Chain A
Amino acid sequence: MSARSRLTEAIKQANADKRPARVPFLTAGCPSPERFWACLKELDDNGADIIEIGVPFSDPVADGPVIAAASQQALEAGVSLEWILSGLATTRLSAPVVLMSYANPLIQYAWERATGVTLSQMVLASLRLLAQDFGSLVAGVIVPDVPLEESGPFQVAFDEAGVDLIVLVGPNTSSERMAKYALVARGYVYVVSVLGTTGARDEIPLEAKATLARARASFDLPLALGFGVKEPSQLAGLVRGPDAVIFGSALVKHLTEGGAAKDFMAPWLAAQ
């Protein structure tokens, strides 16, 4: 494990101020490729502790309609992983960046440069080249369609580069599985609040409480709650809430409808 994770540190700092860390998620190229980088800056200047960037994919099976549509629009506008990395190289952000990407764009990014005798060797070689290109631009990666059983090459390649592979657990992840995840988890743990896809919901379901409690017992890392979060009042019912909150669909919708990133962040800043 890398000695210090920038992601763990960012969340601990926020928690030291007696508040959950704020983790906005934005699909790359949203609301438009031109405005995207300015929006990231604005989130960074207005209280984001970590910023998650969604890498668009043609078949986003874990995403609900808002992010799926943003992903499709981004692809039509020519947004790619390469576009994201070169943009990050020229954008100064104080919050560490996490990429959320389905497996295939990550595996294919450097496929033509990768060498290996077997296909599995090719996959690992390709991911290693990708991790090199992350350099200091990317602190962590979430791969929503790679569960524990398939995570081997991702763990190896990202660990070598000091990039955190962030694991996801859900309401139906048994404590046994959580214990296995605990051995490989880095940075923070993404707690999926519901059995469903991404998308804002009016209430955080009761089962999220139980999932948070079980995750608390299984992991030494900070817990970040996602899938369904849109405003601070939703956290009111939680006795010990998450260490970080991730809000994606509500933010993407707000920006797509012409809203400003700053206005979206305001209630979170006011709520402390």
Chain B
Amino acid sequence: MKGYFGEFGGQYVPEVLVPPLLELEEAMAAYLTEPAFQGELADLLANYAGRPTPLTLCPRLSAELGFNLRLKREDLAHTGAHKINNTLGQALLAKKMGKIELVAETGAGQHGVATATAAARLGLKATIFMGEIDVERQKINVERMRLLGARVEPVKDGSKTLKDAINEALRHWLANQRTTHYCFGTAAGPHPFPTLVKGFQAIISQEAHDQYRDLLGRPPDLVVAAVGGGSNSIGAFAHFIPLQVALVGVEAAGTGEEGCYNSAPLNLGRLGVLHGQRSMLLQTPEGQVLPSHSISAGLDYPSVGPEHAYLHAIGRVKYGLAKDSEALEAFLTLSRAEGIIPALEPSHALAWVFNNRQEIAPGSEVMVCLSGRGDKDLDIVLANLGSLAAKTTTGLEAGKEIS
């Protein structure tokens, strides 16, 4: 069926949203493979966003772990995360479609900032919907978006967080579809968004594939990435899916206590329909969507992109878990051992690698997608640092403790 990955995906939207989704699908077919479009995007990615991003070996951690750990440095892309890959692509496509405004949702503000940035660069208006609670938690990002010329609309409905911001952005798009493009932030939502966003994020694994080829003449043995909605991970997996490469997505387990709120629909949810897609979903027995939780705002989402649900169902990708506390420890470990402050999202992927080090063959080549930089998370980390400072002394000892 159209827009499905196995049994997941689809287009569960009001009828009045089907025509703009069809219009988007037609624009994708018309422009994405066109040399002029590809040339413009390649130029923006190289000369504006700073791509290709490096593949950085972690020498001290690798010596400690007994295998080579390399980071795909999306934290070094403009605005500090992989989000810019997607927003530049969608903004360019929106311009080709004759749209004058981008509407977007944002949780922590990273996608909002990336959308506002792309809109400013390409001369589009930007309206960003953000849950009222997130507006309060992420004041600096709100100011960044406003500085870039975007209008930030606090959302007061429901849980006042990311999922409610998506609802409101969809409502805005529904009413303003003739002039507006919905710049969706992750590889989820109604068809064709999972495919569109994956297409723009696949540059992560495309570059990594070539970097490994030039470096070692072969792909890595294992690629690990954190999974919220799933855009950095599907981008990091895309070009490795057909190859002999083990792939692990890491979901946020929350506090890890029995029955706690979490952001792990693949491990702990069941099939459901939300935000235009049929995928795995955290929900009550009656089908009401549960609030999600993660210390990392970027992973804090009750569902997951449909292609991940499919890759999980067929067993091509293994989906593990990392708790809030483990992500915090990994955050400290990488900062101290390698001089790289990671965002809390990829800290979950790092935590999984540290936790599972015994199962990774010595001498392996392991890539972690470092999807963003951690400056944005300092408040959260500092608020939790009291208990961690005692446990973590120096970098490498921290690595040992984690096992």
Binding site for B on A (CB under 8 A): 57-62, 64-65, 68-69, 72, 75, 80-82, 102-109, 111-112, 118-120, 122-123, 144-150, 167-174, 177, 192, 194-197
Contact = CB atoms under 8 A, between A and B. Distances in A.
Given A108-B283, A120-B7, A57 B14 contact: no
A232 to B, nearest CB: 25
B288 A75 contact: yes
A187 B165 CA distance: 35
18 contacts: A58-B288, A58-B289, A61-B171, A62-B171, A64-B171, A68-B157, A69-B157, A104-B272, A105-B288, A119-B7, A123-B271, A149-B18, A150-B12, A172-B16, A173-B16, A177-B18, A194-B175, A196-B171
Nearest to B1: A149
Contacts of A75: 288
B35 interface: no
A81 B287 CA distance: 10
- Among all A-B residue pairs, the 6 with the closest Cβ atoms: A108-B287, A170-B16, A105-B287, A196-B175, A104-B287, A103-B273
Contacts of B258: none
Contacts of B171: 61-62, 64, 196-197
A165 to B, nearest CB: 13
Given A61-B171, A68-B157, A104 B273 contact: yes
Nearest to A194: B175
Contacts of B232: none
Given A147-B11, A168-B15, A174-B19, A59 B289 contact: yes
Nearest to A108: B287
A68 B160 CA distance: 13
A109 B14 CA distance: 21
B285 interface: yes
Contacts of B275: 59, 61
B117 interface: no
A59 B155 CA distance: 13
B289 A173 contact: no
Contacts of A60: 167
B81 interface: no
A112 B271 CA distance: 12
A192 B271 contact: no
B66 interface: no
A104 B7 contact: no
B156 to A, nearest CB: 9
Given A59-B163, A195-B16, A196-B174, A72 B157 contact: yes
Given A59-B163, A62-B174, 16 more contacts: A57-B288, A104-B272, A104-B281, A104-B288, A107-B271, A107-B287, A112-B285, A119-B7, A119-B271, A147-B12, A147-B17, A149-B18, A150-B12, A172-B16, A173-B16, A196-B175
B16 A192 contact: yes
Contacts of A61: 13-14, 167, 170-171, 275
Contacts of A64: 171
A108 B282 CA distance: 12
A171 B7 CA distance: 31
Interface in B9-33: 10-20
Most central of A58, A60, A68, A168 by chain B CB within 10 Å: A58
B158 A197 contact: no
A263 B158 CA distance: 31
Interface string B183-197: 000000000000000
Given A111-B270, A192-B15, A172 B10 contact: no
A169 B15 contact: yes
Interface string B302-345: 00000000000000000000000000000000000000000000
A184 B327 CA distance: 51
Contacts of B288: 57-58, 75, 104-105
A173 B271 contact: no
Most central of A59, A62, A146, A177 by chain B CB within 10 Å: A59
A107 B272 CA distance: 8
Nearest to B163: A59
A181 B105 CA distance: 32
A105 B286 contact: yes
B274 interface: yes
B294 interface: no
A119 B310 CA distance: 12
Given A75-B288, A150-B10, A195-B175, A172 B19 contact: yes
Contacts of A109: 286-287
B289 A146 contact: no
Contacts of A150: 10-12
A122 B157 CA distance: 32
B215 to A, nearest CB: 41
Nearest to B17: A147
Contacts of A57: 287-288
Interface in B66-119: none
Contacts of B157: 65, 68-69, 72
Nearest to A146: B12
A259 B178 CA distance: 38
A65 B156 CA distance: 10
Given A62-B14, A105-B286, A147-B15, A118 B7 contact: yes
Given A112-B285, A173-B19, A59 B13 contact: no
Contact of A145 (B7, B12, B164, B177): B12
Given A58-B288, A61-B14, A62-B14, A104 B167 contact: no
Contacts of B3: 149
Contacts of B7: 118-120
A103 B16 contact: no
A246 to B, nearest CB: 15
A3 B352 CA distance: 60
Interface in B161-216: 163-164, 167, 170-171, 174-175, 177-178
